[in-house]
Amino acid sequence: MNTLFPIYVKLDQIETLLVGAGPVGLEKIQALICNSPQAKVKVVALEVSEEFYLFIQDNPNIELHHRAFSAVDLFGKQLVILATNNPKLNNQVRELCANHHILLNVADKPSLCDFYLGSVVQKGNLKIGISTNGKSPTIAKRIKEFLNELLPEEIDETLNLMSDLRNQLAGDLKEKINVLNAHTEQLIKQNEYDRAN
């Protein structure tokens, strides 16, 4: 059973450390910045790929250090992502993070992770995270492609209208929820009708 608790983190309000800047590091920094363009990320790596350099150039929120990891790199960090193929380093950082209560993700090592970076579907303000509990990133990718095709491009317009409606509603929380639930039920029925005809 998947017992993971899904959360959405404001990466512009916390400090993140990424160790590694090769192909896997590039994948991780792309996931961070594409989902949270203002994320503050410190990157430490002995080797940095050209693609990685190109992706981070002109981003003032990414701080790159071309050197080996040091324990002091963890100072002030709330999230750490390891994109290395160094088991000894991974285990060392795992222990340090556990001792300092810092959440850790280790690429392709679910047993060392406190959290996973799932596949994400985004249409405007709608963001859906997909998790397979670390079992199959490939399946998560296929589900992401399916949902991207399924969700209408107009979903953001609908979200904005729902936000306006919520802000205009009077009454207590229960009353507001009842009105919003009834309205969204009508939207879904209309969408099903439109698809059928």
Q: How much is the pLDDT for 154? A: 83
Predicted confidence band of residue 5 (pLDDT cuts 50, 70, 90): very high
Q: How much is the pLDDT for 169? A: 80
Q: How much is the pLDDT for 193? A: 65
Share of the chain above pLDDT 90, in %: 63
DSSP assignment letter at 14: S
Looking only at the bridges linking them, the beta strands covering 126-130 and 119-123 are antiparallel
pLDDT over 70 (residue 187): no
pLDDT over 80 (residue 24): yes
Which DSSP helix (H) or strand (E) runs through 106?
strand 103-106
Q: Is the dihedral of CA 53, 55, 57, 63 positive or negative?
A: negative
Torsion from C-alpha of 34, 35, 40, 44, nearest 10 degrees: -60
String of b and e for 147-182 (b: at least 16 CB within 10 Å)? beeeeeeeeeebeeeeeeeeeeeeeeeeeeeeeeee
Average pLDDT, stretch 92-96?
A: 98
Lowest mean pLDDT among 62-66, 148-152, 183-187: 183-187
Q: How much is the pLDDT for 171? A: 77
Q: How much is the pLDDT for 90? A: 97
Averaged confidence pLDDT in the chain: 90
pLDDT by residue (tens digit) across 68-87? 999 999 999 999 999 999 99
pLDDT over 70 (residue 153): yes
Both structure tokens of 32: 């961070």
Share of the chain above pLDDT 70, in %: 95
d(CA 91, CA 109): 11
Predicted confidence band of residue 186 (pLDDT cuts 50, 70, 90): confident
Regarding pTM above 0.85, the answer is no
